[in-house]
């Protein structure tokens, strides 16, 4: 899409935003930079998206970043984004530089307990996948053999480990994530903004988990919702 094809209101907001002294451009990954696909390991970013983030990062007083629910290592491997683009994984519990959550013994024990319980819930449920991250475990049901199986698994997770003390729950499209640290994309956006001294930010996202980042936008900031709904 060219700048001329953008809605007039959005074009005006972006022109105004470009005048800010220090700009942060942050984006979700799946469904925003990369199309949603059946196999998450094949979710490659669109070349145009990569080029745009690289170009933005090279601009004076401009920082570009990707904030994803994926584990940081997986995000880096899959996206293959250039080093000048900051990466934030696990909804904000993993930063490429400057901020890392250290888990204490209680958090580590809780994480092991969550993983064991989710393995039991997912056992024998065809197509249901667990994604273990440094501070959380995500349950993916997008590839479940049937919608009924997916819903049954999510219901069991919601009524079980989601209710445990110390568990932070994040729900997205066909996924539910249980973390042992309190993080979300809104907090991640705030941390990035502080790190780079941004005077304004633009955030792009498509999932319900991105709403936490949209909620942190104010003043000259701009939020862009990708997709329908």
Residue 100: per-residue pLDDT: 52
* Shared-domain flag, residues 202 and 127: no
DSSP 13: H
* Percentage of the chain lying above the pLDDT 90 cut: 72
- Band of pLDDT at residue 99, cut at 50, 70 and 90: very low
- For residue 199, the 8-state DSSP code is S
Query: How many folded domains does the chain comprise?
Result: 2
Residues 34 and 138 grouped into a single domain: no
Report d(CA 214, CA 61) in Å as an integer: 22
**pLDDT, position 134:** 85
Strand spans (E) along 52-145 = 62-67, 86-89, 94-95, 129-132, 136-140
Q: 81 vs 161, which has greater pLDDT?
A: 161
pLDDT value of position 140? 94
- Structural domain range at position 69: 3-100+183-225
pLDDT confidence tier of residue 56, bands split at 50, 70 and 90 = very high
Pair (162, 138) in one structural domain: yes
Kindly state whether residues 96 and 112 are assigned to the same domain. no
Cα separation of 133 and 72, whole Å? 9
- Mapping DSSP onto H, E and C, the string for 130-196 reads EEECCCEEEEECCCCCCHHHHHHHHHHHHHCHHHCCCCEEEEECCEEEEECCCCCHHHHHHHHHHHH
Greater confidence, 11 or 3?
A: 11
Question: Do 89 and 48 share a structural domain?
Answer: yes
- Mean pLDDT to the nearest integer, 181-187: 87
Does the structure show a pLDDT above 60 at 175? yes
Q: Is the pLDDT of residue 148 over 50?
A: yes
* Residue 70 and residue 117 in one domain: no
pLDDT of residue 228: 77
CATH number of the domain bearing residue 60: 3.40.50.1000
The distance from CA 192 to its chain's CA centroid, rounded to whole angstroms, is 14
CATH number of the structural domain spanning residue 162: 3.30.70.1020
Kindly state the average pLDDT of the residues 116-121. 98
Please tell me whether residues 37 and 57 are part of one structural domain. yes
């Amino acid at each position: 899409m060219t700048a001329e094809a953008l809605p007039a209101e959005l074009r005006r907001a972006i022109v105004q935003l470009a005048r800010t002294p220090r700009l942060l451009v942050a984006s979700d990954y799946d469904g925003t930079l990369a199309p949603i696909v059946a196999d998450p390991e094949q979710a490659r970013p669109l070349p145009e998206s990569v080029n745009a983030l690289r170009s933005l990062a090279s601009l004076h007083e401009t920082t570009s970043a990707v904030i994803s629910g994926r584990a940081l290592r997986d995000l880096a491997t899959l996206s293959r984004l250039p080093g000048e683009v900051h990466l934030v994984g696990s909804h904000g519990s993993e930063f490429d530089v400057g901020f890392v959550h250290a888990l204490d013994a209680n958090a580590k024990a809780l994480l092991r307990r969550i993983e064991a319980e989710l393995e039991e819930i997912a056992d024998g449920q065809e197509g249901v996948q667990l994604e273990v991250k440094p501070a959380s475990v995500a349950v993916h049901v997008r590839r479940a053999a049937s919608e009924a199986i997916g819903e049954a698994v999510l219901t069991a997770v919601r009524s079980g480990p989601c209710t445990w003390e110390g568990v932070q729950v994040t729900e997205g499209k066909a996924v539910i994530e249980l973390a042992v640290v309190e993080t979300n994309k809104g907090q991640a956006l705030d941390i990035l903004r502080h790190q780079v001294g941004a005077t304004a930010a633009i955030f792009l996202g498509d999932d319900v988990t991105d709403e936490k980042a949209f909620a942190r936008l104010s003043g000259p900031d701009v939020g862009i919702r990708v997709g329908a709904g």
